[in-house]
């Protein structure tokens, strides 16, 4: 599994099935790097740029909303919660890399990609390059309203994966929300055993979709 936007814990739906994760490669520019037997974390952001240079990373009062993108202040009029959550605390330089530039140096084959990057999800998908076809499933955060300036919207991510002809949208894993969702896409060429497993943990239909 690759987890871009790692928050020091795995997806709650996977907690009871952690034994199914043979190796976890995670990324978050705000968490220091470490390397364990079955988990390598890198203090990097993912970009779709080749030979990428350090980039500005915006840290907001609500840390989970920190992003390579600047918040579109218009969203504060319709976003629930305290608007001060989105106050910019500081901007720092963070190291960046494409996923395929790392994967080509590793023997591990990754099948699952989870992304929660506050606006960079499409760039992460693009950055995996030729390894995209090896993925069995992708979880991506998608925006229905313009939350960050210049960040891709839901239709752009769905369109990109739809054009592959082998990824299909299954369902929104998040409770109803007018601003954003967590979309699950599966590879129609993934093993049937894996697709059945996904049906169990996410309580949804995949094989018949």
Is residue 196 a part of any domain in this protein?
yes
Which structural domain range is residue 134 located in?
2-49+99-202
Is residue 78 a part of any domain in this protein?
no
The string of DSSP letters for the chain reads -EEET--SS--GGGGGGGGG-S-EEEE-TTS--EE-SSEEEE--EE-S-TTPPPEEEEEESSGGG-BSSPB-GGGGGTS-S-GGGG-EEEEEEE-EE-HHHHHTT-SPPP-EEEE--SS-HHHHHHHTGGGGGG-SEEEEEEESS--BTT---HHHHHHHHHTTSSEEEEEE-SPP-SSEEEEEEEETTS-HHHHHHHHHHHT---TT-
Is residue 31 a part of any domain in this protein?
yes
Please write the tens of the pLDDT for every residue from 18-67: 999 999 999 999 999 999 999 999 999 999 999 889 999 999 999 999 99
CATH of the domain at 26: 3.40.50
Is residue 16 a part of any domain in this protein?
yes
Is residue 154 a part of any domain in this protein?
yes
Structural contact between residues 184 and 170, judged by C-beta atoms closer than 8 angstroms = yes
pTM above 0.85, yes or no: yes
Is residue 167 a part of any domain in this protein?
yes
pLDDT surpasses 80 at 111 = yes
- Checking phi first, is residue 51 left (phi over 0); if not, alpha (psi -120 to 50) or beta? left
Is residue 207 a part of any domain in this protein?
no
pLDDT surpasses 80 at 209 = no
The dihedrals phi and psi of 14, each to the nearest 5 degrees, come to: -95, -5
Pair of tokens at residue 184: 């699950």
**Total domains in the fold of the chain:** 1
Please write the tens of the pLDDT for every residue from 198-208: 999 999 889 87
Is residue 45 a part of any domain in this protein?
yes
């Amino acid at each position: 599994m690759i987890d871009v936007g790692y928050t020091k814990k795995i997806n709650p739906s996977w907690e009871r099935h952690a034994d199914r994760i043979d190796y976890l490669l995670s990324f978050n520019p705000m968490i220091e790097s470490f390397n364990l037997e079955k988990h390598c974390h890198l203090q990097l952001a993912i970009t779709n740029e080749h030979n990428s240079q350090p980039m500005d990373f915006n840290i907001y009062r609500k840390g989970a909303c920190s992003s390579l993108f600047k918040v579109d202040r218009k969203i504060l009029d319709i976003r629930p919660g305290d608007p001060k959550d989105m106050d910019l605390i500081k901007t720092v330089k963070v190291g960046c890399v494409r996923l395929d530039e790392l994967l080509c140096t590793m023997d591990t084959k990754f099948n699952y990609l989870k992304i929660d990057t506050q606006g960079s999800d499409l760039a992460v998908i693009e950055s995996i390059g030729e390894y995209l076809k090896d993925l069995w499933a992708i979880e991506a955060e998608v925006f229905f309203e313009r939350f960050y300036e210049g960040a891709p919207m839901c239709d752009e991510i769905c369109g990109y994966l739809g054009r592959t002809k082998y990824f299909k949208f299954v369902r929104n894993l998040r409770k109803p929300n007018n601003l954003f969702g967590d979309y699950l896409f599966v590879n129609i060429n993934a093993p049937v055993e894996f697709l059945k497993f996904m049906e169990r943990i996410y309580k949804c239909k995949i094989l018949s979709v």
